[in-house]
Amino acid sequence: MAEASRVSASRVLGRVYAGGYADILLEGELSGLSPQLRPFTTELVYGVLRWQERIDYVIRSFASVKPEKMEHRVLNALRLGVYQLLFLSGVPSHAAINESVELVRSLGRKKAGFVNGVLRKVGIEGSSVRFPDIEATPVRHIATFYSHPEWIVRRWVEMFGVEPTIELCKDNLVPPPKCLRVNSIKVPDAEGRLLLIEELSAVGFTVTPDSYSPDALVLAGRGRLMKADSNGLPDARYYFQDSASQLVSILLDPTPGSDVLDACAAPGGKSSHIAALMGNSGRLFALERNSARTGILEGTLLRLGVTIAVTVCADSELPLKLPPDAPHEFDSVLCDAPCSGLGVLGRAPDIKLRRVEADLGDLALRQKRLIENLSGYVAPGGTLVYSVCSNEPEESTEIIDAFLATHPGFIIENGAAHLSASCAPLVDERGFLRTYPHKARMDGFFAARLKRVE
């Protein structure tokens, strides 16, 4: 049966390397597999993507052809084989080798023999490969051994130092916690929350309240998720959302009955959380410029019982075309800007394949346009929260500093005043929310809460 998982994993990886997104492609592939095969298939896909730099270094050490010169199906087969041989102790070596060879059998005996030969060498000598020396070349060592692009490692070493960078990279190589947000629209009291915890425990999960977001529960184990209805829709009492992402909505601190604008709102996690924090009372305008993603946003809000939201397909970098009854200014505005995603590499390791350092400057231009445009919709005394799932300076502090330099009517508010006491270590000396995977086992986020004072 496991051979079907290997075939599926190879197919998904091939499409990811062609430019696709791993989570979307994997979801589609898993739908055609039996439940028994899905965990192993997922492990193979994400394992290879997390450890690709180290895997390729090992391949380079034993193959007569450089990885970048190999046919993609051959390279995929080698990557899958090396991952199983060196990282999955429960997989027999002969199975890892033979099934990887089968993946290229149709390409001819020569290529099948090549894969077989390389993997047999890796099976015998792979654990003794010598990696770049950490003392002589720390960036290259970390990039290779802990499997991150050199340009990212170089930046982090300059920002944090060698040891913190190692810890951050190590945490990015571990699957992040499975975290959900209890939907208070559907679960308004402690009794309902307790019942949800009991039901999740009964289907095989170990459930732990999160230390930072009061709405979050962390699940461990391989339980079976409950479905709400015969259509197979997820239970509307919860929404899977990392606790760092939840803290952004909590930082916004929207009040019941107020007018709130959420830009770049799809797929709807933060919008639905904002509505819940508002007690589903007031007006929430959720914007998304992509029409297909607007549909996803609408579906999320509908499923979770949000009744105060108006979804609008609009580009938040341009003057907004809102419904006639929308306010001209809002009590709270969330600018959850598109970014590099370098804070969520543990959750989406294929980001490492797509991002280059030049992207940071390009993204910063868009982020500046977004915050500039959206600031014009904040009412006097109102709040503007800017957030990104990245802690790179170009996307975080430099955006805020540039904005404040030209907008003296806004000031920074200390985020600690709007978060629980346990979040104090997550707020820096300037009042910004900063989360890191290696410090609090959550996604990496930056968020700034700004107030319009005039």
Per-residue pLDDT of 253-264, as tens digits, reads 999 999 999 999
CATH of domain 178-240: 3.30.70.1170
Pick the CATH number of 2-128 from 3.40.50.410, 3.40.920.10, 3.40.50.300, 1.10.940.10: 1.10.940.10
What does the mean pLDDT of the chain come to? Answer: 95
Q: What value does the mean pLDDT take over residues 59-65?
A: 96
Q: pLDDT tier at 226 (50, 70, 90 boundaries)?
A: low
Q: Are 48 and 67 in contact (CB under 8 A)?
A: no
CB burial of residue 416 (10 Å; 0-12, 13-18, 19+): middle
Give the per-residue pLDDT at 229.
Answer: 59
Q: Measuring CA to CA, which residue among 142, 209, 148 is closest to residue 177?
A: 209
CATH of domain 243-452: 3.40.50.150
- Distances from the Cα of 240 to the Cαs of 19, 216, 276, 379, in angstroms? 26, 9, 15, 32
- The total of other beta-carbon atoms located within 10 Å of residue 145's CB is 18
Backbone angles phi, psi at 260, to 5 degrees: -130, 140
Give the per-residue pLDDT at 341.
Answer: 98
Per-residue pLDDT of 338-373, as tens digits, reads 999 999 999 999 999 999 999 999 999 999 999 999
Q: Give the three-class secondary structure for 246.
A: helix
Asked whether the predicted pLDDT for residue 239 surpasses 60, the reply is yes
Q: Tell me whether domains 2-128 and 178-240 share a fold.
A: no
Per-residue pLDDT of 80-100, as tens digits, reads 999 999 999 999 999 999 999
Per-residue pLDDT of 203-221, as tens digits, reads 999 999 999 999 999 999 8
| Residue whose structure tokens are 């959550």 | 442
Beta-carbon contacts of residue 434 (< 8 Å; ≥ 6 apart)? 391, 426, 427, 428, 445, 446
Predicted structure pTM score: 0.95
Catalytic residue among 169, 179, 389, 423: 389
Per-residue pLDDT of 255-292, as tens digits, reads 999 999 999 999 999 999 999 999 999 999 999 999 99
Domain range annotation of the chain: 2-128, 138-169, 178-240, 243-452
Q: Measuring CA to CA, which residue among 311, 331, 362 is closest to residue 259?
A: 331
Asked whether the predicted pLDDT for residue 230 surpasses 60, the reply is no
Task: Quote the CA–CA distance of 21 and 50 in Å, as a whole number.
Answer: 14
Q: What value does the mean pLDDT take over residues 131-136?
A: 97
Q: pLDDT tier at 232 (50, 70, 90 boundaries)?
A: low
Q: pLDDT tier at 224 (50, 70, 90 boundaries)?
A: confident
Positive/negative CA dihedral, 60, 65, 70, 76: negative
Q: Which residue type sits at 394?
A: E
Q: What value does the mean pLDDT take over residues 139-149?
A: 98
Q: What value does the mean pLDDT take over residues 112-138?
A: 96
DSSP 21-87: -HHHHHHHHHTTS-TTTHHHHHHHHHHHHHTHHHHHHHHHHH-SS-GGGS-HHHHHHHHHHHHHHHH
Percent above pLDDT 90 for the chain = 94
Task: Give me 359's structure tokens.
Answer: 């992207």
Q: Are 334 and 377 in contact (CB under 8 A)?
A: no
Per-residue pLDDT of 306-346, as tens digits, reads 999 999 999 999 999 999 999 999 999 999 999 999 999 99
Task: Give me 139's structure tokens.
Answer: 């960036």
Asked whether the predicted pLDDT for residue 388 surpasses 80, the reply is yes
Q: pLDDT tier at 1 (50, 70, 90 boundaries)?
A: low
Give the per-residue pLDDT at 233.
Answer: 72
- The total of other beta-carbon atoms located within 10 Å of residue 90's CB is 6
Does 389 participate in catalysis according to the annotation? yes
